[in-house]
Chain A
């Protein structure tokens, strides 16, 4: 009789060892579905979890399934919160998670949060609960002050990374940095760029001086330029540097001192900061330009000629974030010099001005798409575009993965033909078969959504504003985009029909945001009642829903899949549309 190979006879620790080479969540999830024993083994040895929507699952559920996790990443508010479309108090509180993990994961080492509300109380709890805590990344978070940071500094003996990127921190005192004990020498990355007021500079200097492993240092605007050289001399091993304000009275010794300090930084690969740039000081970084792969000049109000001089020296540049002061001419120079460029972001210097203040048009982007063969990620703010340009870009760069175009005036048509930009974006999705993220702008009809539904099979995230004509547009996207995970829509004439017809699709996605559209309260209720595994949340600040006509369109709608049921922390202007809520409302 043939003996059948039995997987369960494979020793557990061998399997565990094999699994340890598999880090990606997708693969780990696949492993856990093979059989019961693999599920068991895998869940005990999963060390890292990522929860893309903190309300999709409860902390208790996570801890129950994965008992020994060392690294947690959570995301809270919807993306449009970045643009003030999500009212304050909406939610995204991380405290319940930290509270649960304080007992569930005493060995937790890393916490990464994005768009969550973090209080000082939370930070204090982190500081005292996790003995081996190493990494804290707070990206676009809010709700805490420098007191909370002081608690982290004082108690986390082995802290490696403290990264506050773009968070809103209440600045109560610059002294929090002094709470790091002199024995703390483990710091690898420190990002305090978002802090408004001064930190104690002597504490910063001492910190930098005793951290031999420091690779990333991002200072805040308050750190003056004449202090930068000293810091650099203490940390010549830096790989990523964010300067403070890049301005000073013009004194030759400051410039030469700075240039000398930069020459000593042989490992420098990335730079950012550059607030209030005085162009005369830019030559100080020329010694490191050829080594730079990442350059963030998006706060540098410097005119095109100085930018061109700088950028043309960065021959190994892979990522550039810059203001539209670079203009078409600068982008042309960029295309000629930086053949390794992968990511370009051009931000508007005067986003609310009516007239263009710089000569930045679609030509700049077309140039870069022609000259930079590795260009795959674009965020571009400008004031005019054409279908021709989009088609050219699409043909030049079929390897495009992220394409976000923001034509500043809503519903701007093709400036040459005055037609909608449907065909242009259609070319993008047709030619760029691996496109994962797309943001639309300009005048767009239902047509563009037809193209997207037909071609954008790998598209995971789509952002739409002031576009479309009928529900058919939304229907094309929901029925055609197989890989869609996140859809965010504002000010589009999409209503009930497409949403209700594609209700099942919503369970395959992380979330859907619709604001200032035409989805009625009635449809929201229906969706909420019919789809128990979706949380259908209506955000409406106009008043209690029970006095609102059923056919009235809701202000904002946020739908996300969840196994945790309705959340408990909804403020007064957020309503869940499930069965129980519906009974109370009617």
Chain B
């Protein structure tokens, strides 16, 4: 308890109130002290305790003094507690109720509950360390002046009023935003209706619509995020944007593919491309739709979908079936391999290693041993030794 200083309880300029709780008792380590019943306030900078009966009695400790905190569950006849472990008081600390203490921690007893939320908020504040970004220049004032009592009362009321205003302000902002959002959605809905009507026209005309019109229509749908009412795909293939994207991807992915043995899963591609872009990222659907056009645009990469549904990008020059032959050699050398083991040996992702082994099995080169210990592949001796 020697880490505490007397205070007026007024918040500083950059300091904001986070949460407060009535009915809290302070203890110096394991020993009870006279701070039996008070309001505990958590601000961005300090932990403040004010006596409920004697409002002049107000103490605080900076959050920066806290080493770590623990929860103590309630028991029979015992309130839930938070144990706050503290750094030793600094030598230039403002005067407080205790000069020394044999404990390096204090206990907060929540006689009227509220411990769960307080603990959550206190943890957040300690983690976020907002006091570091918002230095308060003014020193804590010493509470020895009886006049200060009146000011302090005003201070607390002021805090509560600020909180109320802030709540109203937030509510107002939210309702304004929500109103604007509703209006916006009304307009968006009109766009959806219009696109449906155009789609109907297209269906009626059954192919009399020009290609140019189709391309335009699809790009409008793309902008609005409306699924193509005709084909039901989200604009399916064939927008200009996806064509451009496909060409870009062919450029970006050439080297990474070569470095990875000519094949990458679509999730790998998604991560690689988006990390490189940093901004204006591709949506997963953008990527898939662009990749679907690779082959028709005669680009040097292609999209391949395995039986399992796994999607990969391969270099045109890559031949997975040939890779299977070398996989068979590797498996034969080792007698048998799981997907994990094969992946480690060859330096592939487990996902793609498994696909290669499954393909080898499909082609008849490998046999599986499916047990609870895992899926293990063996060379298909039925084939080679019959």
Q: Do A and B come from one complex?
A: no
